[in-house]
Structure 1
Amino acid sequence: MKNKALTEYTNKELVSNEKKIKAITIMLGIAILLLFLSNIVITFKRGFSALNVIPLALLPILILNINNWNQLKKEKANRKL
């Protein structure tokens, strides 16, 4: 499936996608934060393990989602929605 450019979205699609990405980004951020906190506790109790790098591996996805969210907000502002 080919992604459309932001300028090709209808107003309804733009608002809908912005809401979805906002919710997903917030949930992912909370999940990564919880993983960091639990890794700190587990590291002190049991030591370092290979699973401690999972939150670091998920950070690029969070950064991409934040960038997409910001682009959608800019497009909404340009259209004055």
Structure 2
Amino acid sequence: MNKESLSKLSNEKLLKKHTAAKTMVWLLAIVLTGCLLFFIYVSIQDGFTPLVAVPLALSTIIPLNVKNMNTLKKELDSRK
């Protein structure tokens, strides 16, 4: 999202987008942590499995969402 499109949104829409982004970051982090722990447990029980790489690869999405969330927060703070 660029600054121009954010400036056109209302405060309520920005707040909803920020809340949704925050929720998605937490949910994704919790799910990926659970998957990582489960795959590590499976690896310990049955031997190494390449599925351990999946949560690690998908965790690169989290910083992008955090950056988006921070951009939304800055726009909300600039309007106050």
How far is the alpha carbon of 1:5 from its aligned partner? Answer: 2.4
Q: Deviations over 1:37-76 (max 9, x none)?
A: 1122111111222222110121111111111111111111
Name the SS of the counterpart of 1:5 in structure 2: helix
One-letter identity of the residue aligned with 1:46: D
When the two structures are superposed, what TM-score results if normalisation uses the length of structure 2? 0.85
Q: Following superposition, which runs of at least 4 residues in structure 1 exceed 2 angstroms of deviation?
A: none
* Aligned partner letter, 1:29: A
- TM-score norm. by structure 1 comes to 0.84
Counting aligned pairs with the same residue, the percent is: 35
Alignment correspondent of 1:14: 14
- Residue 55 (structure 1) aligns with: 55
1:79 and 2:79 matched: yes
**2:73 & 2:42 partners in 1: Cα distance?**
38
Count of matched residue positions in the alignment of Structure 1 and Structure 2: 79
Unmatched tracts of structure 2, length 5 or more = none
Mapped partners of 1:6, 1:45: distance in 2? 49
1:52 is aligned with what amino acid? V
C-alpha RMSD of the superposition? 1.9
Shift of 1:21: 0.7
Indicate the residue corresponding to 1:28 in structure 2. 28
Q: Which residue does 2:45 correspond to in 1?
A: 45
